[in-house]
Amino acid sequence: MTTFSHHHHPSFQELCLKTLKESGARLTRARMALIESLESAREPLAPKEILQKTQDRLKGQETVDSVTIYRILDRFCELGLVHQVAPSGGYLACTHLACTEQPHIMTYCTQCRQADEIHVPDEVMAPLLWFLRSQNKFEAKKHLFQLDGTCASCRQDLRVKAFATSEEAPTEPLS
């Protein structure tokens, strides 16, 4: 059984501010607007969508172009603040505060495009990492896995549609 503590967890914005400060990066209006855009996203956003949302948040106070957006996203990926989700290549805010240390799996629903991060306990990952090191002489540095599939909500929707279809199907063979 998983237990959760009830102490304060920093928001994505707080995590970004802390990480950027520790890395020596400047906190620009464009970075702040991009952080706010990603924090409110519920599914991976394409760089073009991030650019639009960032421009909307800046309200003309500062101009930002796609090159700037890509630079910020690359830096945020390096710092473990965002993840790039395949196959769309969209970006999603990291929801795991210990992302640089703890392995997790990104699940991506191919039906509704919902992406979620799931923490993977060390006792689950250890055999895989041991196998990679001992059998393949490979030392893993990144810790993000992505599995594509269908989320519980979409599976339920598919079951409902399948049931409705079977109800409408004729019960006697056609002649």
* Tens digit of each residue's pLDDT (9 = 90 or more) over 112-160: 988 888 888 888 888 888 898 999 998 877 667 888 999 999 988 888 7
Residue 169: predicted pLDDT: 52
Helices 66-78 and 47-58, axial angle in degrees (round to 10): 110
Residue 5: predicted pLDDT: 36
Pick the CATH number of 11-94 from 3.40.50.300, 3.40.50.2300, 1.10.10.10, 3.90.79.10: 1.10.10.10
- 116's enclosing H/E stretch is strand 115-119
Q: Model pTM?
A: 0.68
Pick the CATH number of 95-168 from 3.20.19.10, 3.30.1490.190, 3.40.1710.10, 3.40.1170.20: 3.30.1490.190
* Tens digit of each residue's pLDDT (9 = 90 or more) over 46-59: 999 999 999 999 99
